[in-house]
Amino acid sequence: MEEINQNSQTSQDFNSDIYKPNNEDDLREIIKYCFKKNLPIEIVGRGTKIRIGKKLQCAKTLDMSNISGIIDYKPEELYITVKAGTPIQTIQNELKKNNQHLAFEPVNFSEIFQKDSNEGTIGGTLSCNFSGSRRFKVGSARDHILGFKGYNGKGEKIKSGGTVVKNVTGYDLSKLITGSFGTLLVLSEITLKVLPLQSDTKTIIISGLGLEHAIEIMGSAISSSNDPSGAVFYPDSLRDNFVFNDLTHRGSITAIRVEGSKTSTEQRINNLIQDLSLIEKNITVLDSVQSEIFWEETRCLKVFSKNQKNILRAVIPTSETINLLNRLKSFHPTYFIDWGGSLIWIELDYLSNQKIEQIRKRILVANGYLTVIKSPENVKLSSEIFTIDPIKFKISQNIKKSFDPKRIFNPGKMYTGI
């Protein structure tokens, strides 16, 4: 094994509780040191999603925020390569200059956790893989990562993928890393697929639909050749969160978004109104500016930002949504539905371990899965945050071992023992 040089390679003080590498040499030395000394480390970007997953009791924190910056951006090749600690906002601002964006709309948790404008880093975003309303059309974060470089638990530099979309050259580790909550490796460089921003966005808002009708309409819209890029339902109880000049009707909100050129969005909005027989309904069409605000608020979970309640995330097949919500009635949830019916964000006043398990059971029966996003620390301590079965637990344990044999990266963040 290589000797660790505590003096020349890195400016790190190894006695400090927080390691903050300034470059890859620092990073490598830190990981090698932790590997050698069996020191578990909690990997942190800008801390925006630190409260998702189990609270860690690590001896050390690895603060990645200085490993930041754009390495290579080729708009005509539709990719950008960035350092893992680069803020999402920095990337989006750069892409906007060329009318491009990260199409997977990473969910912005800042409104419900730390209440500031910090949206987190790209490394954190990929590690968590929570994607926005465009999911059913363009995929999630995992579909937009083309390649990466990073360090495994032994401090060895590993790369996978590249800068091209079509690639079958070895296992697709980019996907495996995405959503692994920093338990497999520390990302250092990431190449992302970027896509053109559409010149026009329009949103049909249908007011006052009941849940069943809304689910049916969203399903029909998504299943049509009008190619919507968002379909969300806010029940009546959340209506007051949306104040738009054009929005005069009351009641629940069912919103369907289309994006494209102006002629295209106009035609598709007209098609949708006709195909879904909306002419008799209370409809409003939001223009580009208002649409953007509406979907941005959805991406930020704005309706949950007013209070400090518990938040759960359930993903289920659309066909099960109504049944599930009926079965959850006794918990009196506040909720809204995204992804055209298959993602339910749930807000609850009180949460206990028992309650989580009761809800999880109902979601599992519906062939879906539950993720606890926000809950009191004492509840989190004794609850499963993510859903897993024993077979996949064993597989995951083996995979974890192949990357991080001493379990120094975020141990227990996802599952006890991983």
Partner 1 sequence: MTSLKMPKVDRKILKDKEKIVKEIANFTNRKNILSEIEELKPYETDGLSAYKQTPMLVVLPENTIEVSKILSYCNKNKIKVVPRGAGTGLAGSALPLADCVLLGLGKFNKILEKDFKNRCVVAQPGVTNLSITHAVQDKGFYYAPDPSSQIACSIGGNVAENSGGVHSLKYGTTTNNILGVEIVLMDGTVTRVGGKVFDSPGYDLLGLITGSEGLLCVITEVTVKILKKPDTVKAILLGFPTIEDGGNCVTKIISEGIIPSGMEMMDKVLLEATNNFSKAGYPLDAEGMLIVEIDGTKSEVDELIDRVAQIAKQNKCSSIKISKSEEERLKFWSGRKAAFPACGEMAPDYYCVDGTIPRGKLAKVLKEITKLSKKYKLPVANAFHAGDGNLHPIIMFDANDKKSLEKTEKFGEDILKLCVKFGGVLSGEHGIGVEKRELMCEMFNNQDIQQQISIKNSLDPSSLLNPGKVYPILRKCAEEGRLHIHGRDKSKFSDIPRF
What is the footprint of partner 1 within residues 4-63 (CB under 8 A)? none
Count interface residues toward partner 1 (CB under 8 A): 86
Q: Does 414 bind partner 1 (CB under 8 A)?
A: yes
d(CA 133, CA 344): 12
Q: Does 271 bind partner 1 (CB under 8 A)?
A: yes
Enumerate residues 166-205 that contact partner 1 by CB under 8 A.
166-176, 178-180, 184, 195-199
CB 303 within 8 A of CB 295: no
CB 237 within 8 A of CB 347: no
Q: Which residues touch 144 (CB under 8 Å, ≥6 apart)?
A: 102, 103, 104, 138, 192, 193, 194
Q: Does 269 bind partner 1 (CB under 8 A)?
A: no
In the list 39, 70, 164, 293, the residue contacting partner 1 (rule: CB under 8 A) is 164
Closest CB to partner 1 among residues 59, 388? 388
Q: Which stretch binds partner 1 (CB under 8 A): 45-53, 246-254, 294-302, 388-396?
A: 388-396
Report the candidate in 303, 289, 293, 295 with the shortest Cα–Cα distance to residue 256. Answer: 295
Enumerate residues 93-152 that contact partner 1 by CB under 8 A.
99-100, 129, 131, 135-136, 139-140, 142-143, 152
Q: Which residues touch 64 (CB under 8 Å, ≥6 apart)?
A: 21, 43, 44, 45, 84, 85, 121, 123, 186
Closest CB to partner 1 among residues 157, 249? 157
Enumerate residues 327-356 that contact partner 1 by CB under 8 A.
339, 342
In the list 18, 71, 165, 289, the residue contacting partner 1 (rule: CB under 8 A) is 165
The shares of helix, strand and coil residues in the chain, as percent rounded to the nearest 5, are 35, 25, 45
Enumerate residues 200-229 that contact partner 1 by CB under 8 A.
219, 222-227
SS3 state at 42: strand
Q: Exposure of 94 by Cβ count < 10 A (0-12 exposed, 13-18 middle, 19+ buried)?
A: middle
Report the candidate in 231, 235, 253 with the shortest Cα–Cα distance to residue 244. Answer: 253
In the list 7, 263, 307, 330, the residue contacting partner 1 (rule: CB under 8 A) is 263
The secondary element (H helix, E strand) that includes residue 387 is: none
Binding mask 292-311 for partner 1 (x = CB under 8 A): --------------------
Residue count (the chain): 418
Q: Does 71 bind partner 1 (CB under 8 A)?
A: no
Q: Does 322 bind partner 1 (CB under 8 A)?
A: no
Give the nearest distance from C-beta 160 to partner 1 in angstroms: 7
Give the nearest distance from C-beta 156 to partner 1 in angstroms: 5
